[in-house]
Structure formats: C-alpha cells, structure tokens
Amino acid sequence: MSKSPHYCPETLALSAGFFSDQPTRVTTPDITMSVNHCFVPEEGSFSANGIENLADTPFLYAGWTNPTVRQLEQRIAALECTDDAYATTTGMAALSAMFFSLLRAGDHLIISDVCYAAVYELAREVLPDYGIEVTPVNLTDLAAVSRAIRPQTRLIHAESPCNPLLRLTDLTQLADLAKQHQVLLSVDSTFATPVITRPAVLGVDLVVHSLTKFINGHGDALGGCVTGNKALIAQIRSRAAAHLGSTISAQNAWLIMRGIETLYPRMKTISDSALQIAQWLENHPRVKQVNYPGLVSHPQYTLATEQMAYGGGMIVFQMDDMDDIAQRFAQEARLFYYAYSIGHQRSLVVLLKTADLMASTYRMTHEQAQEFRRYAGEGVFRLSIGLENPQDLIEELEQLLR
C-alpha cells in the first residue's frame, strides 16, 4: 500500500497518501476534524478481541484512525519503505505503544545503554513494574549484545545516532544478529530521518520517530510514529489506539504533513550547514572535542558513510567553563535559542552535563560510564542546526565562545 516503485523519496514526501479527488480538487490535504463517522452496522463491526487491523475498517472514530492521520501514516510508511505506520501523540507515545503492545510479563528487552532519557527511564523504571526485564547494552559491541540475548528476549531497541552522544549503531549487523535469535529489532531514527537513513532497508523491523523534531521541522506540533510491516503495526494499533489512547490529533497530523513536504531540502540544507559548523568548531582553540557523524574524526566515520546519506543536523562539543558558556548562550545569543528539543527551523542549543545525566537517568556499569565519557567528557553542548545561513551561525559562535 505505502511502497511505490514509481517515485523517488523526494516526490513521495509530497504525494504519498494524497489524492486530489475531492469535489473541490484541492492541491493540499484537507483536515478532517470530525471525531465520528457515520457507518452501516455491518461495515463498522470489528472483532472484540482487537486483533483485526483497525486501519482496514471504515473510518469510525478518530481515536482509532482518521482520514488526515491516515494520510500521514501512509506518507511516513512510504518514506521508510515499510508496509504501514501508526501515528501517535508524541514520540514517547510511539515507544510506549510499541513496548506495551509487543512485550508481556516475563519477556526481556535489550535497549541501548545511551538513549533519549525518557526512553531509558521508561525502560528501567516503569517496564519492570509490569514484569518485563530490561538490559542496557552498548549496541556497538555485538559480542556484548549476543551475550545479553536470552530465550525470553523479544525486542532489541536502538537509537542511531543516539541522543546525546551521536554514537552510531551498525543496523545491518545488529539486524542480522537479531534475526539469528528470532528477536525483533526497533530503532529510534529521529536524529536521522528517512532522508539520511532508512533502517527498514537495512533489516530493522520497526522504525520509531518523534515527529515533533526534524520531520515536522517547525516546532509547532507534537507527534510520533512507529512504522514496520503490516502485521506488527496492526498489533500495535489494535492495543495502543483502542486501549492506550495514543492516536495523534488531525490538526497535528496535518501540520506534520506540511513539514514533510519540505523534509528533503530542509535536511540537506541543515546537514550541509552542520558540517560547516562542525568543521569550524573542530578548529576552534577552546573546543576540546566535536562529535559529528560527517567529520572524519568521528570514531565511526566509516559506518556513517555507509549508513547515512548526510551527517545530519546535530552536533555535540566539549569545552571548559561550560557553565559560563551556557550563560552566554542563554543571555547573549540571538540566533541560537537556549532550549530543549531539536529539529526546528531555528537553531537550538543546550548544555547536557554528564554528572547530571548519571544522577537523573543513566545507571551504568563502570565500563559503560567510561565509554560515555569517551564521547561526552564531563558534558557537552548539543546543537540542533536550523535553516539560518551557516556563516551567521559561525559568527555568533565566534562571539559566544570567546
């Protein structure tokens, strides 16, 4: 349904799921705001056990699916080269939908030992309350992953690039290992977007995005999605849409579709700018270390060239006097907004201290903590590059990092 052999991804970003066949002959998707749809009883029935794919039923209730939301799902699935997608209120809702739909008491989950803080906390602090065992592993170490797999392991969850280190996971090798053990593999590809990496093509079963970030690209709508083969997405939708209430609103779905239409040129521009800025930072006398997948100095540069079309829009770097520099960003910057989140049209920056992350989120072994500090030292500034002219951003950095 979502895959098309006829169009390139740049074209699918504008056309997948959209047909101008309404009486008004619109050239951009409408928003269907109605919560309910009329139906003939025989057409609107669905199985009480929730196994039937709700996406195949007539539109009945917006909590299950909605015409505007369905267009968004079809477009994302087309860009990720998967059968189907389920769109949710947030990225965390997508991950929660996936975990609570696929895992049961007694199951075992392997997650990346470095990932988005809320995901790590959900996995380590909430899932065990429901009888799900969780093991954080450095997913760059395939031998460690292999040792961690148990007969009860049902899912391995990765991020690539991971937040905040920008460490990569070799998705092809990890997918091969997961298949050998008949374990599902999911990856949060928010930092990459389908413009840069299409994990399903590399063998990944489920791809998760926070649509709030680069895919929306305007900082004005929350959303998330999980995409994969039809059976897995139907299983997730039947539980999450019907029972967890995680389906995205039509308004936000429409806003995110608007963002997708410029996703390819945006990500190319952002990546080109980020590379220029990363190269400038690497040559700055006060900058101790820069992590950016597009730099030759990145520890996994070879993997990045194989797995990523561009280096992406995220940069992290280390400096001394972190607190002073953070104050300058917060009080003096005009172009860099000191704020959390990423992937907006405007550039964002925030200081992430290693000690704070260790105290609030990560529970690491000594070896894992050492690996974290190899990338992050005592803390990093995380830059999310926007659509400003890169020379203007560099000039501002020059003033702020003096």
Q: How far apart are CA 25 and CA 268, in angstroms?
A: 31
Looking at the domain assignment, is residue 1 inside a domain? no
What pLDDT, on the 0 to 100 scale, is given for residue 50?
Answer: 47
Q: How far apart are CA 87 and CA 94, in angstroms?
A: 7
Question: Rg of the chain over CA atoms, in angstroms?
Answer: 21
Alpha helices, DSSP H, located in 189-343: 193-196, 230-239, 250-260, 263-282, 301-307, 322-332
For all residues of the chain together, what is the average pLDDT?
92
Q: How far is CA 306 from the centre of its chain?
A: 19
Does 48 score more than 50 pLDDT? no
pLDDT, tens only, 312-335: 999 999 999 999 999 999 999 999
Asked whether 231 and 217 are in contact (CB, 8 A), the reply is no
Structure tokens belonging to residue 342: 């990423």
pLDDT, tens only, 132-173: 999 999 999 999 999 999 999 999 999 999 999 999 999 999
**Residues 103 and 237 placed together within one structural domain of the fold:** yes
Rounded to a whole number, what is the distance in angstroms from the first to the last CA of the chain?
Answer: 54
What pLDDT, on the 0 to 100 scale, is given for residue 39?
Answer: 73
Looking at the domain assignment, is residue 160 inside a domain? yes
pLDDT, tens only, 235-287: 999 899 888 989 999 999 999 999 999 999 999 999 999 999 999 999 999 99
- Which of 260, 277, 302 terminates a domain? The answer is 260
- Which of 215, 241, 260 terminates a domain? The answer is 260
Does 1 score more than 70 pLDDT? no
What pLDDT, on the 0 to 100 scale, is given for residue 127?
Answer: 98
What pLDDT, on the 0 to 100 scale, is given for residue 51?
Answer: 45
Asked whether 241 and 86 are in contact (CB, 8 A), the reply is yes
Asked whether 315 and 277 are in contact (CB, 8 A), the reply is yes
Structure tokens belonging to residue 35: 């919560």
What pLDDT, on the 0 to 100 scale, is given for residue 46?
Answer: 55
Q: Which domain holds residue 189?
A: 9-260
Looking at the domain assignment, is residue 181 inside a domain? yes
* Nearest of 345, 359, 349 to residue 380 by alpha carbon: 349
- Which of 260, 287, 312 terminates a domain? The answer is 260
Question: Would you tell me the crossing angle of helices 67-80 and 250-260 to the nearest 10 degrees?
Answer: 40
**Residues 61 and 102 placed together within one structural domain of the fold:** yes
Q: How far apart are CA 360 and CA 172, in angstroms?
A: 32
Query: What is the CATH classification number for the domain harbouring 238?
Result: 3.40.640.10
What pLDDT, on the 0 to 100 scale, is given for residue 352?
Answer: 97
Looking at the domain assignment, is residue 185 inside a domain? yes
Q: How far apart are CA 164 and CA 227, in angstroms?
A: 23
**Residues 230 and 134 placed together within one structural domain of the fold:** yes
